[in-house]
Amino acid sequence: MKQYAPATQRNRAPIAEALEPWLQVPAGVVEATVLEIASGSGEHAVYFAERFPRYRWQPSALRPAELDSIAAWRAEAALPNLLAPVQLDVLTVPWPVQHADVVLCSNMIHIAPWACTDALFEGAGRILPEHGLVILYGPFRIGGAHTAPSNVEFDGWLKGQDPAYGVRDLGEVGVVAAAQGFEERARVAMPANNLLVVWGRSALLRTARPA
């Protein structure tokens, strides 16, 4: 059964515009894949797969209801590059997807324990090639401070749902990313006090690899 996320209608176009410079199929790559972690209702997956037809779009979710919703949206859209959803728990190794060129994750790490942020970058490090990217979208703290009063309220609400949840500090996320060999490439201010942040393989890691 299809689910609907009202925010999707508002944020999908701005997210796609921010993704555009980064979702250019690398030279020499015949078939590129985006693994979308925590695809939710599946509405984003349909929109992005249509917007970026040169990428195979692999949606994923943890909960059966979300997997059913993604499958329903996919069936209706009938896009040739939108793959069937897979059940994926970032904490479970190995992931059901063994290779992707981009790992995209929207609005997940603040509604999951911190261990999931670690696991997200560890898993991305296993499946991404040298040109691979990790792209996160959502609210973040910067230097320990919230970027807007609404994010303060949202953070309090999240912690009320589960003390392990909360708006994450971008610097702390960067430390986790660096431990897996990723460096920040870009951060883009988005509507509703969100950010889209891009990480790629660090130059140091690429230099250290044997020829």
From CA 39, how far away is CA 44, in angstroms rounded? 7
104 DSSP 8-state letter = E
CATH superfamily of the 6-208 domain: Vaccinia Virus protein VP39 (3.40.50.150)
From CA 211, how far away is CA 208, in angstroms rounded? 9
From CA 71, how far away is CA 51, in angstroms rounded? 19
pLDDT in tens, the chain (211 residues): 888 888 788 889 999 999 999 998 877 777 899 999 999 999 999 999 999 999 999 999 999 999 999 999 999 999 999 999 999 999 999 999 999 999 999 999 999 999 999 999 999 999 999 999 999 999 999 999 999 999 999 999 999 999 999 999 999 999 999 999 999 999 999 999 999 999 999 865 544 443 3
